[in-house]
Amino acid sequence: MVGVRKRGEEIRRFILEQVQAHPVEIAKITSEQFDISRQAVNRHIQQLISDGLMTVEGATRSRRYALKPLLKWEQKYALDGSLEEDRVWRTDIAPRLGNLPKNVLDIWHYGFTEMLNNAIDHSSGTSVIIYMEKTALNSKMSLLDDGEGIFKKIKRIMNLDDERHAILELSKGKLTTDPSKHSGEGVFFSSRAFDLFQILSGDVYFSHQIDTKDDWIFDGVGLDRGTLVSMTLSNTAQHSMKEIFDRFTSDEDDDFRFTKTVVPVRLAQYGDEMLVSRSQAKRLLGRIEKFKTVIFDFTGVGTIGQAFADEIFRVFAKEHPKIILIHINASPDTQKMISRAIHHDDP
């Protein structure tokens, strides 16, 4: 009986995990996944509906299933100097998240308080709206302020040519527009901790998904004013904030400092341009000296030019011998250019 019960739980868990992506064909793909009849799958679906975890709409041939929100909540707060992120967490957020595992609550505690504090300290806005939704599978939280906009502010403070360049800087970590108050780690570690982390501001969109290599993307989408941050996390996530912190601490460090970063190289590209120039490389290398270990991720980069590779792997490497430079996911053509730069001075 225990085995039968466990298999039933696995089937229902699969349905909950897949229904958002397959609202019409969920019965078909579940039947194929577990090699059971459609009738058996339908019994599990009906139980989930009866338990209040799923909804159904439409007639027999066009039925659409969906996760049923267990909670929907929204509140607007004034950014008048009196708002405190820890108090909002303690009184309004944590009670609504409910009895989740400690590691999940710890991730939410870190991410929510960091993002609300950013709105309080950096947005220059007058208000922030917090939206929260919880289903049987995951929880989602969004914060929308009416301030200047995160990418516009980074562009202005750092004197960048393009708001999209702000994403490249955010992806490295240790970026803050107010170093006297902030370390610049909140967005970086939050983006790595959640299943899905998104920022929309102006015409720039910034996203990290925990189970994909294609970490950071930008696109013209449009938000007239302010910044929208959205975070989504499984209610049964297995990782912890400590694991996220440890991932970006160099092996020789014993003080848990943020000394390692992963740089998505393709963010140095604009549009379809190729990475061939030293100026592009220098843009990629900005603030890299703050880290002990830098991993350049070449996912999505077909090839690079000789000057681009030389600036990073020979010129910069010689000028900063104590910084460890690592490259991953390089195509064969890119690998040739990197090897050529590294071994340029060999006899």
List, for residues 81-140, the tens digit of each pLDDT value.
999 999 999 999 999 999 999 999 999 999 999 999 999 988 999 999 999 999 999 999
How confident is the model over 147-166, as pLDDT tens digits? 999 888 888 888 887 787 88
Q: What CATH number should be reported for the domain holding residue 56?
A: 1.10.10.10
Q: What is the DSSP letter of 271?
A: T
Same domain, 258 and 207: no
Last residue of a domain, one of 14, 35, 67: 67
Position 266 in a domain: yes
Residue 347 pLDDT greater than 80, yes or no: no
297: pLDDT confidence band, cut at 50, 70 and 90? very high
How confident is the model over 257-292, as pLDDT tens digits? 678 888 889 888 876 788 999 999 998 998 889 888
Contact assessment for residue 128 and residue 119, using Cβ atoms and an 8 Å cutoff: yes
Q: Radius of gyration over alpha carbons of the chain, in Å?
A: 23
Residue 49 pLDDT greater than 80, yes or no: yes
Bridge partners of 262? 295
Same domain, 106 and 216: yes
Same domain, 121 and 212: yes
Contact assessment for residue 262 and residue 168, using Cβ atoms and an 8 Å cutoff: no
Which of 140, 83, 138 is closest to 112 using CA atoms? 140
Position 347 in a domain: no
Same domain, 213 and 86: yes
Pick the range with the lowest mean pLDDT from 42-56, 239-253, 302-316: 239-253
Rounded Cα–Cα distance for residues 84 and 89 (Å): 9
Same domain, 86 and 217: yes
